[in-house]
Structure formats: structure tokens, C-alpha cells
Amino acid sequence: MAKSVKVVSKEKAVILFSGDSGDGMQLTGTLFSDSAAHYGNDLITFPDYPAEIRAPQGTVGGVSGFQIHLGNSVIDSPGDSADVLVAMNPAAIRANASRVKAGAIVIYDRDNFTSRNIEKAGYTADPVAEEKLENCKVIAVPVSSMVKEALQDSGLDSRLVLRTKNMFVLGMVYWLFDRKLNFTEEFFDTKFADRPEIAKANKTVLRAGYDYAGSLEELAPVISIAPAGLPPGRYRNINGNTATAWGFMAAAEKAGLDLFVGSYPITPATGILEEFAARRDLGVRTFQAEDEIAGMCAALGAAFAGSLAVTSTSGPGLALKSEAIGLAVMAELPVVIVNVQRGGPSTGLPTKTEQADLMQALYGRNGESPVVVLAAGSPSDCFRFAYEAARIALEHMTPVILLTDGYLANGSEPWKIPEMKDLPPIQPPFASQDEQPFMPYRRNSSTLVRSWAVPGTAGLEHRIGGLEKTPEGIVSYSPENHESMVRLRAGKIARVLEKVPDLQVYGEDSGDLLLAGWGGSGGYIVSAVKELQSEGFSVSFANFNYINPLPGNVREVFSRFRKIAVAELNTGQFAAWLRSQCGGFGYEQINKVQGLPFTTKEIREKCLKILEDI
């Protein structure tokens, strides 16, 4: 970069890459975020893409976006609106104009703003004027022409040439944020090791975009965002689905068990099964079942046979698995069901995020059928809670439902890599061959957990199943036995409390308003809470990861605040759960069901309204 270029320092920025679903925006965003994470920024990403693999070209329905919020300190959410928007076509302007900050930089591919594409996006003439983006710094770039020029001697056909357009804009954004290209160049050298001409073309175009940006006076100044000074250690970028799969692999190794995964592909959970399937080197046994039910049932069979058993799915799949989860409750076998929540009901919004499966997780089975429910709070947090879900399932002989969501699944952030030796031990209650006669439902008197007798072990032969049994394992329709067993199963889940840490409060321990969130929306809420706190409002925040059982100190924490508001991406399911489990508080609600995460602004405005009434 020329020395004369002016540089401004910023604390954080939001970049939004947006284009047709075939424009490679997900890769572009991933490359930028990997590079930024490697540079030392904290960040959170939010990929947002349509359910169709290739929706009609140039339409708003086909727009695929990748949002990155990066900063020089801890970043909690992908951010509300963009400081930089890269739009590969007019539809990308249409889809994102409302998410652009005043004064933002908008870079668009002028070659793609043909009258046909403009019309397809629903504009009559000039999208920039129609969206009133005059107060933005709008940079029209002839991306296609520049790419063709850069690769005119490459010998590649025009289709391959134009597929590198995303690297041109990535190069421009690298220049804008004063980033080096080497991290991304190495990526191409590795990815296309056997097709060097493709690696070279991408690197050439990346460099061309970078140099072109440097030649544009109107793009300056360069934005400098310093490293975040994260705690010392070894880091990597990780998304929620990968973190989830890895958490179970770590748990299996710690417990000394084989890992069995029975799953059926379903958006947005498929990435978990793919991660597992790639790990034959760690001995993971994946079984792509014929349907969701078979995935769950095979996992249950593997649990009976002594493996750490997992099934991964999304809401519609959880519905199909519910009868078999009930069997797991009755058989008291350890199995973890991961539900990557998406917009529902029914097929709903497959690629969009929501938190509306909470009631299904808690209650979606016939009979009195309690299970442990956990919810991960951030993409990397999925590792911790997958591990924890496995630990609880194995040590308490129960199904555990782990809730993540579409945002966590696809979103990524830098993660301080843990060491296996630091993770808590996992000790399943294997039956001893001395337990004679073996009774499948004899329980540990303090935890109410039964012991695990694995087929192949002599002397522990026994029969279990969905019919109600006596503690000896004999089928029984006795009214007294049934009630006793129902209460014992519930008591066993309640006693998982010994593993549930106290609820932590972010901010003051008492005050006017406590915002309560759960799972994946915590990051958005905390951004708003930070703003409000800095303005002097008495607002604190608590995020729940343990849903059933709830932490033991909830009532005590809640009683120190004048108001409690529950913020969640549904119409009030966690609020209803709190009312039933922890009544006596007038729970306010902050809800959103648009298939999108909260924005900081939304939370902030709702909080201000609640605070007005205090």
C-alpha cells in the first residue's frame, strides 16, 4: 500500500458480503473471517443463505449473505447493520439496504447492474438512488471486466474466469482493512494443490482486487482494527456444528467409549453428521439412517450395546424421534439428541434460525417423560455443551436433548483450544458382574441412576424395553409400581442438578431489570445490555444453558431485581417454562419470530420501554 494512504483506527466493524447463491459469498466470508481471526481480532460471523441450492439467478430470494463482526475487543454478536456492504448484484442491494449504516461503504459489481438484473430485483432504474444510499460511500466497480482482464492470459475458459469474481471483492476488502493476503493465498495453494492453474487464478484476482482498491482514491481511508488481545493460548476459528461434533468425540475419548452416530441429513444439522463421518481416523461409527426414526433407534441400540450414542437433527426430525426418545426415557439409556433449531412449524424456514423447539424438547413425548435439556450459547460453546450433554447422559443414564440453532450451527468465532487433560472425567455407571441377581432398575440411592449392563457381559443378562417394569425388570401393570417408577424417573432428572452450575449474572447482582435469555440468543442480548449499562441504566443479564433442570439459584437471583424480562426467538416458551418452574415473578417478554436473530437495537428499545414503567 502506498505510504500516503490515510489510515483510521476503529474499534469494530461489520462487513456484509452479499450476492447470488452461486457467487461464492459463503467462501468469501469464511476466508475473510479466518484471516481476521488469525490476525487476532475477535469476531462472530452470521451466514444467511436461502434453502434453495440455486434459487433463480438475480432474484432477492436467491441472495446469500455472510456477515462478519470483527473488533479489537470481545465481540458478542454478528452486529445489527453493516459498515461495509459488498453487493454482487442489484438483488443484494434490495435484500440488505435496510441493514446498512448511514455513511457505510457500499461496493457493488457495476457489470452485474444490467437493466435485466435491476428489474429482477424490483427496481426501475438506479437501485442506489431508489434505496437512498446517497449518504453512503458508494463504490461502483466493474468486477467482471476487471477479472477478465486480470485473467486474460490464464488460458481458463470464461466460466472459470468469472467464478473468481468473489476473490476480486475480497482483495478489495482486504485492502480496505489493511490485511495481508498470505493467509488466503496459502488456503488456495492447499485447496487446489492438484490444480495449480485454479490456485493461481484465484490468487491473481485476489491481488488484482487488492491493487485496484489501492488505486481508488474514493475508497480511502484504510480502516485499521487492532487485535483484540484475547487471553493467551492456542486458537482456531470454529463454527457451531463442527464444535458440536468435536465435543462428542472428546467426550467419547474421555469416557473410553466408542462413538456411534445415527443421523439423517437435515438442514441446518447436516454439518454435524458430515464432521462425524469424516472421522474414521478416530473410529467414529456413523450410520446414515433411512429416516430420522431409524437414526434415533439405531443410536438407542448402540447405547444399549455400550457406546456413546448420538443423533443429530433439526425440529421436524426431533418430532419424528419423539417416540424413540420416550423409549430411551423408559429404558434409561444414555443417548444425546442434538436439535439444531430452525424456523417452524413443519418445514418452516429450513435455513433460518429460531428458538421455538423448547417446548418440544421439554414435553414432546407421550406420558410423563422428563429428559435433560441443555442449550449452547455461542458457536464455540457448542463444544462445551456437547461434551457436557454426553457427560450427563452417560453418568445419569438418561437421554439429553442439546439445543443449538441455525445461527450457532453456521456462525463461527475464534476459540481457545482446550486440552483434553483439562476436561472433566466421564465415569459411566457400568454394572458389576458381582451384582447378582442383576436388576436393571436397581438404583444408586443418591442419584437414582441405574447401572449399565452391556451385552456380552456374562451374568448380567437382562431384558428392558418400553413396557413399565418393576425394579427387578419384570413387566408390571401395577398402579403403585407405575406411579413409583414415574416419580423415580423424574427424581433422577431432578438430581442432575448436582452438575448444574449456578446462574451467573452479567453486570450488577441486583437492580431494576434482569434480562434473561437462553442458548444462542445470549450474544445479541449482551451487546444491548452493554450499551444500556454504559448509558447508566440498571440492567443486568443472565443466559441459561441448563434448561432442565434449571440452575438451583434462579429464584434467588431473580428476587434481587425489580423486573425480569425473558428475551427469546419464539413467542414466549422459556418464559412459560420459568413461570411453571419458578413462579411468582411477573415475567416480561421480548420476542421475535422472523427467522432472524435479535438486533441490539430491538433489545435495547424493548428494555427502555420496560424500564420506563419501573
Partner 1 sequence: MAALDSYQYTAEDLKSPQEVRWCPGCGNHAVLNAVRKALIELGMPREQYVFVSGIGCSSRFPYYMNTYGFHGIHGRAAAIASGICIANPGLSVWQITGDGDALAIGGNHFIHVIRRNINMNILLFNNQIYGMTKGQYSPTSEKGLVTRTSPFGTIEKPFSVGELVMGGQGTFFARTADYNMSLSTGIYVEAARHRGTSVVEVLQNCVIFNDGIHDVVTGREVRDERTIVLRHGQPMIFGKEGDKGLVLDGYRLKVVKIGENGISAGDILVHDKKEADPAIHYLLAAMRYPEYPVALGVIRSVEGKTYEDGLEEQITDIRKGAEIKSADDLLNSGPVWETGH
Q: Is 289 in the site for partner 1 (CB under 8 A)?
A: yes
Q: Confirm if 143 and 87 have CB atoms less than 8 A apart.
A: no
In Å, the largest CA–CA distance within the chain is 87
Distance CA 520, CA 240 (A): 10
The contact pattern for partner 1, residues 475-504, with x = CB under 8 A and - = no contact, is x-----------------------------
Q: Is 27 in the site for partner 1 (CB under 8 A)?
A: no
Choices 62-70, 166-174, 252-260, 525-533 (CB under 8 A): range interacting with partner 1: 252-260
Choices 84-92, 443-451, 459-467, 579-587 (CB under 8 A): range interacting with partner 1: 459-467
Q: Is 466 in the site for partner 1 (CB under 8 A)?
A: yes
Q: Is 125 in the site for partner 1 (CB under 8 A)?
A: no
Nearest in space to 457 (alpha carbons), one of 306, 260, 253, 275: 306
Q: Confirm if 82 and 15 have CB atoms less than 8 A apart.
A: yes
Q: At what angle do helices 143-150 and 196-215 cross, to 10 degrees?
A: 130
- Exactly one of 107, 331, 590, 610 binds partner 1 (CB under 8 A); which one? 331
Mapped onto helix, strand or coil, the DSSP state of residue 518 is strand
Phi-psi region of 122 (alpha: psi -120 to 50; beta: other; left: phi over 0): left
- Exactly one of 113, 260, 577, 598 binds partner 1 (CB under 8 A); which one? 260
Q: Which three cell numbers stand for residue 114?
A: 444490467
Phi/psi for 262 (5° steps) reads -110, 110
The contact pattern for partner 1, residues 356-395, with x = CB under 8 A and - = no contact, is ----------------------------------------
DSSP letter at 47 equals: E
Choices 98-106, 147-155, 213-221, 324-332 (CB under 8 A): range interacting with partner 1: 324-332
Least CB distance to partner 1 at residue 44 (A)? 17
Site for partner 1 in 393-452 (CB under 8 A): 417-420
Q: Is 306 in the site for partner 1 (CB under 8 A)?
A: yes
DSSP letter at 107 equals: E
Least CB distance to partner 1 at residue 553 (A)? 32
DSSP letter at 467 equals: S
Q: Is 299 in the site for partner 1 (CB under 8 A)?
A: yes
Q: Is 579 in the site for partner 1 (CB under 8 A)?
A: no
How many residues bind to partner 1 according to rule CB under 8 A?
Answer: 73
Q: Cell 484504510, residue?
A: 222
- Exactly one of 138, 161, 269, 294 binds partner 1 (CB under 8 A); which one? 294
Least CB distance to partner 1 at residue 35 (A)? 9
Q: Which is nearer to partner 1, 200 or 285 (CB)?
A: 285
Distance CA 211, CA 213 (A): 5
Q: Confirm if 398 and 492 have CB atoms less than 8 A apart.
A: yes
Q: Cell 452486529, residue?
A: 79
Distance CA 84, CA 18 (A): 11
Site for partner 1 in 232-251 (CB under 8 A): 232-237, 246, 249-250
Site for partner 1 in 156-215 (CB under 8 A): 183
Q: Which is nearer to partner 1, 14 or 296 (CB)?
A: 296
Distance CA 25, CA 91 (A): 14
Q: Which is nearer to partner 1, 398 or 600 (CB)?
A: 398
Least CB distance to partner 1 at residue 380 (A)? 11
- Exactly one of 253, 468, 512, 531 binds partner 1 (CB under 8 A); which one? 253
Question: How wide is the angle at C-alpha 341 spanned by C-alphas 338 and 345, nearest 5°?
Answer: 125
Q: Is 54 in the site for partner 1 (CB under 8 A)?
A: no
Nearest in space to 163 (alpha carbons), one of 188, 126, 189: 188
Distance CA 121, CA 61 (A): 9
- Exactly one of 87, 297, 401, 448 binds partner 1 (CB under 8 A); which one? 297
Q: Is 291 in the site for partner 1 (CB under 8 A)?
A: yes
Question: How wide is the angle at C-alpha 95 spanned by C-alphas 92 and 97, nearest 5°?
Answer: 90
Distance CA 463, CA 483 (A): 21
Choices 132-140, 229-237, 497-505, 552-560 (CB under 8 A): range interacting with partner 1: 229-237
Distance CA 174, CA 205 (A): 13
- Exactly one of 102, 159, 346, 456 binds partner 1 (CB under 8 A); which one? 456
Distance CA 209, CA 378 (A): 33
- Exactly one of 462, 530, 562, 579 binds partner 1 (CB under 8 A); which one? 462
- Rounded to the nearest angstrom, the gap between the alpha carbon of residue 107 and the centroid of all alpha carbons in its chain is 28
- Exactly one of 70, 303, 310, 393 binds partner 1 (CB under 8 A); which one? 303
Least CB distance to partner 1 at residue 279 (A)? 7
Least CB distance to partner 1 at residue 441 (A)? 14
